[in-house]
Amino acid sequence: MASATPRVKACIFDMDGLLLDTETIYTEVTNKLIEPYNKTFALETKVKMMGRDVRTATDILLADLEIPLTFDEYNDQANALKKVFFRRAELMPGVARLIRHLAKNSIPIAVATSSGKDMFLVKTERHRELFGLFGTNITCGDDPAVKHPKPAPDIFLTAMDRLDCGLEPSDCLVFEDASNGVEAAKRANMNCVWVHDARFMLDPLAPPTKHDATERIATLESFDPAKYGLPPFSN
């Protein structure tokens, strides 16, 4: 297991709920779609869905709420709304500062998101300049190289290999907001910072090491790069 304060050489970022505040939009879309069925979108169901690939998350929703739709029927309706609503997605606190800092200091960075490529482009439309700092180091959930979704480690290992820096898993620091993403990072034998949004926390008293995360913080504003052997912030 990685030490509590490892020295890392590269950073890999989840996107939904970590870089972009999309989870509130997911909730808005879901509530619109389930309204005709007089269902309530409970936090317990949302937490189970967070960080999952589209099919798994949708299957969880339809089963938990007993919605009489197939995956394709629900997904077609959801995608139509998502393509409108996700264009307004805002950056999460501390994201711009950290990404620009790592890029300025030539630290290899990558995105590893369960979102499909088409939806990735919609979500990042307003932030193309910032996401451009990742270059081609973007791995999406529908990438053919990703054989198994999170909590399998495939997407993080693929993202690491594409950085093409001769990295080992222990050289990488993953940033995740969802528990199944933390599990995926640990299965990849990578260090992981769990950035747990209090709005979607079932157990606010959960210990920082829950899910075997290296560290838990509330927002990326609290992240200290020097703790991991990365260049410190200049101010």
Tokens found for residue 207:
């210990």
Please say if 118 is a catalytic residue: no
Please say if 72 is a catalytic residue: no
User: Are 88 and 127 contacting, i.e. CB atoms less than 8 angstroms apart?
Assistant: no
Closest CA to 78 of 156, 22, 146: 22
DSSP code string of 74-134? HHHHHHHHHHHHGGGPPBPTTHHHHHHHHHHTT--EEEEESS-HHHHHHHTGGGHHHHGGG
Say how far apart CA 117 and CA 75 lie, in whole Å: 16
Question: To the nearest 5 percent, what fractions of the chain are helix, strand and coil?
Answer: 50, 10, 40
Tokens found for residue 108:
């290899």
Torsion over CA: 54, 56, 59, 60 (sign): negative
Say how far apart CA 202 and CA 138 lie, in whole Å: 30
Tokens found for residue 48:
């189970």
Which residues are catalytically annotated?
Answer: 14, 16
